[in-house]
Amino acid sequence: MRQVSGWAVVVLAAVLAACTGRGEGADGVRFHAEGQPAQLSDWHLFDVHEGTLVPVEGVLPYDLNTPLFTDYAHKLRTVWMPEGVAAAYREDETFEFPVGTVISKTFYYPRLPGESSGTDRVLRSEGSEGRLPGGGLRLDDVRLIETRLLVRREEGWVALPYVWNAEQTEARLMRSGDLVPLTLVSADGEEEPATYAVPDQNQCAGCHGVDLQSRTLAPIGPKARHLNRDFDYVDGDGVVLQANQIERWTEVGYLEGAPSVGDVPRVARFHDGSATVEARARSYLDINCSHCHSPSGPGNTSGLWLASDVDEPLRLGRCKLPIAAGYGTGNRQYGIVPGDPDASILTFRMASNDPGVMMPELGRSVVHREGVALIEAWIRQQDGDCDTGG
Ligand code: HEC
Ligand code: HEC
């Protein structure tokens, strides 16, 4: 906790409230420049109003065009920065965030209609059930699982996993992670067991570790191409206001240096039927795989690079021989065999739940059927033949 004497806090809070509405101080976010606060409420990112969990003033909710798949969990993401500082725009990389930034991601599931709060049965959906404009979550309609924080301190980013209690009144720091048994129930009643894994604090680096040597952490999602989309904000009077996120971040002073929206890159939403299969597949691989599958990521030894700007077919897996043959490849020959998803290693590993085979290797216990179907469709529409040089 930042230690400031009582009067200074009052004066500072008044000044901040008057000039920006970033809500730091007594009624707003409490930034902790050191230590690992034991409870999520110690940060005061959220309040509960009339049974709804809402971000406090200045805590800006955001969405990505295509999210990471995590056992069908829904995610509420927020960003907050202290007074007087902003993130610097980057065209391709994660924005450059200032010291004091707090980014949160809350994982939850919509509850089944009529299901009591004590059960493990939750809705398997990719819709927006339980979620209100402006990022509010109706507590009777959702099962909160965990809230992850990435906090930018002087020494770099710190990752903190908080797990919600059954009463949904508090989330506690769980540095050793947790396992949450769930039954995912689809709208038509089909059931699938899942063992949702809250990562332990060291596993955060397995995906957020951008520098393999120093194991330095960094955010993954807040890049121009993922944020360039509309979001339903709510103003002080409760009026819903749809705005582009890049413009909104700029307007509230959280982002500097962004060009006009037409010049900001954008990846497709993976379930957007109006985008091409190619665009949707590349967006999906970008957010689900490229944090590891890049020249500097934890999957770099594979030689498979899956970011949306990679244009060399071999790097993307096309007619690429695997680094090791056999078991992990399902005895398939190449990463991608054009036109033939059933012969491609990419889809074999995405459709597997075997810990020694499955991709991503962290962060899921069930298969993302819609994701696998998309990558299969993309491979199916590719022309060429590996034996004649692609
Ligand atoms: C399986 C890989 C993986 C693991 C493990 C993982 N993350 Fe993430 N995380 C991601 C990806 C990918 C995103 C961006 C996509 C999204 O939000 O859907 C993300 C997003 C986030 C965000 C929102 C800001 C951002 O980076 O986009 C926070 C906060 C976060 N993670 C915290 C954590 C913490 C804390 C841990 C460890 C307890 C952790 N993550 C473990 C992959 C992972
Ligand atoms: C948490 C890091 C991580 C994530 C996320 C991840 N991978 Fe991997 N992947 C690896 C590592 C490490 C290897 C090399 C070891 C192995 O083959 O298991 C690998 C290997 C592979 C291989 C074999 C490559 C070869 O040519 O031998 C394929 C195919 C693959 N991954 C596909 C994917 C896909 C598709 C995704 C996203 C849906 C994904 N991976 C996400 C870490 C990751």
- pLDDT values of the chain reduced to their tens digit, one per residue, 390 residues: 333 333 333 333 333 333 446 766 667 999 999 999 999 999 999 999 999 999 999 999 999 999 999 999 999 999 999 999 999 999 999 999 999 999 999 999 999 988 877 789 999 999 889 899 999 999 999 999 999 999 999 999 999 999 999 999 999 999 999 999 999 999 999 999 999 999 999 999 989 986 666 678 999 999 999 999 999 999 888 899 999 999 999 999 999 999 999 999 999 999 999 999 999 999 999 999 999 999 988 888 999 999 999 999 999 999 999 998 778 899 999 999 999 999 999 999 999 999 999 999 989 999 999 999 999 999 999 999 998 654
Q: What pLDDT shows up at residue 27?
A: 79
Q: Quote the ligand 1 centre to 220 CA distance (angstroms).
A: 7
What is the whole-number distance in angstroms between the Cα of residue 149 and the centre of ligand 1?
Answer: 9
Mutate which of 204, 212, 293, 348 to test ligand 2's pocket (most atoms within 8 Å of Cβ)? 293
Q: How far apart are CA 26 and CA 30, in angstroms?
A: 8
pLDDT of residue 114: 83
CA dist list (Å): 125 to 118, 119, 137, 252, 281: 20, 17, 16, 32, 20
* Predicted pLDDT at 338: 97
pLDDT tens digit sequence for 144-182: 999 999 999 999 999 999 999 999 999 999 999 999 999
pLDDT given for residue 236 in this prediction: 81
Distance CA 355, CA 305 (A): 21
Burial-class residue 37 by CB neighbours within 10 Å (0-12, 13-18, 19+).
Answer: middle
pLDDT given at position 326: 77
Parse the chain into domains and list their residue ranges: 29-256, 269-390
83 contact partners, CB below 8 Å, separation of at least 6: 16, 19, 20, 22, 24
pLDDT (0 to 100) of residue 387 = 80
3-state secondary structure of 60: strand
Token pair for residue 251? 């307007």
User: Which pTM was predicted?
Assistant: 0.93
CA distance between the termini of the chain? 58
Predicted local confidence at residue 30, as pLDDT: 95
Distance from C-alpha of 163 to C-alpha of 116, rounded to nearest angstrom: 20
Question: Which residues have any ligand 1 atom within 6 Å of their CB?
Answer: 64, 67-68, 75, 77, 103-105, 148-150, 159-161, 199, 201, 203-204, 206-208, 219-222, 287, 291, 360, 362-363
Closest atom of ligand 1 relative to the 292 alpha carbon:
2
Three-state secondary-structure class, residue 207:
helix
Spatial CA neighbour of 126 closest among 267, 274, 272: 272
